Chains A and B, each alone.
Chain A
Amino acid sequence: MGDPRLASRLKEARTAAGLTQADLAEKAGVSRKTINTVENGVFIPSTILALSLARALGARVEDLFWLQDEGHLADPRS
Chain B
Amino acid sequence: MDEQELIKAKRARSRKFYGGLALVVIGLAAVATGGAFADQSGEAGTGAGFAVGLGAAFVLGGALVAWGARPGDTRWMLEASQTRRDRLQGQRARQLFLFPAVALLFAALAVEPVNRIVSGDQTFRDYLAVLLPVLYAWLTAAIAMGWDSQSRHNRQFLEDELTIVIRARAMTMAFLVLMVGTTVALGFALARPESGAVALMFALAAAGVTAGVRFAWLDREAGQDG
Q: For chain A, which range describes its interface: under 10, 10 to 19, 20 to 34, or 35 or more residues?
A: 20 to 34
Contacts of B80 in A (CB 8 A): 26
Report whether A49 and B161 are in contact in the complex, using a CB–CB cutoff of 8 Å: yes
Complex-state Cα separation, A15 to B9, whole angstroms? 35
Number of A-B contacts (CB under 8 A): 52
Q: Whose C-beta in chain B lies nearest to the C-beta of A40?
A: B226
- Contact, CB under 8 Å: A37 / B82: no
User: Would A33 and B222 be within 8 Å (CB), given that A1-B165, A43-B162 are in contact?
Assistant: yes
A45 (CB) vs chain B CBs: closest residue: B161
Q: A43-B162, A49-B161 are in contact. Are A26 and B223 (CB under 8 A)?
A: no
Q: Is the CB of A42 within 8 A of B160?
A: no
Alpha-carbon distance A22/B224, docked complex (angstroms): 14
* Bound Cα distance from A49 to B161, whole angstroms: 8
Are A26 and B81 within 8 A (Cβ)?
yes
User: Residue B2 at the A interface, CB < 8 A?
Assistant: no
A42, B226: Cβ atoms closer than 8 Å: yes
What 0/1 readout, one digit per residue, does chain B (169-207) give for beta carbons within 8 Å of chain A? 100000000000000000000000000000000000000
Q: Does A30 contact B (CB under 8 A)?
A: yes
B3 in the interface (beta carbon within 8 A): no
Whether, in the assembled complex, A14 has its beta carbon less than 8 Å from a beta carbon of chain B, the answer is: no
Known: A31-B89, A36-B225, A42-B226. A26 touches B82 (CB 8 A): yes
Q: Of B81, B161, B169, B224, which one neighbours A34 at CB under 8 angstroms?
A: B161
Query: Interface range on chain B: under 10, 10 to 19, 20 to 34, or 35 or more?
Result: 10 to 19
Tell whether, in the assembled complex, residue A32 and residue B86 are in contact, meaning their CB atoms are under 8 Å apart: yes
Contacts A22-B82, A25-B82 given: A30-B161 contact, CB under 8 Å? yes
Interface membership of chain B positions 66-108, coded 1 if the CB is closer than 8 angstroms to chain A and 0 otherwise? 0000000000000011100110010000000000000000000
Judge if A78 is at the interface, Cβ distance under 8 Å.
no
**C-alpha spacing A65/B105, complex, angstroms:** 47
A17 CA to B46 CA, complexed, in Å: 65
- How far is B161's CA from A43's CA once the two chains are assembled, in angstroms? 9
A35 (CB) vs chain B CBs: closest residue: B162
Q: How far is the CA of A18 from the CA of B181 in the complex (A)?
A: 51
| B219, CB-defined interface residue at 8 Å | yes
Q: Is the CB of B82 within 8 A of A32?
A: yes
CB distance from A12 to the nearest CB of B (A): 15
Nearest Cβ distance between residue A44 and chain B, in whole angstroms?
A: 9
Give chain A residues whose Cβ lies under 8 Å from the Cβ of B81: 26
Q: What's the Cα separation between A46 and B160 when bound, in Å?
A: 11
A30 touches B223 (CB 8 A): no
Q: A1-B169, A42-B222, A43-B161 are known; give 9 further A-B pairs, CB within 8 A.
A: A26-B82, A29-B160, A31-B86, A31-B89, A33-B89, A33-B222, A34-B222, A42-B226, A43-B162
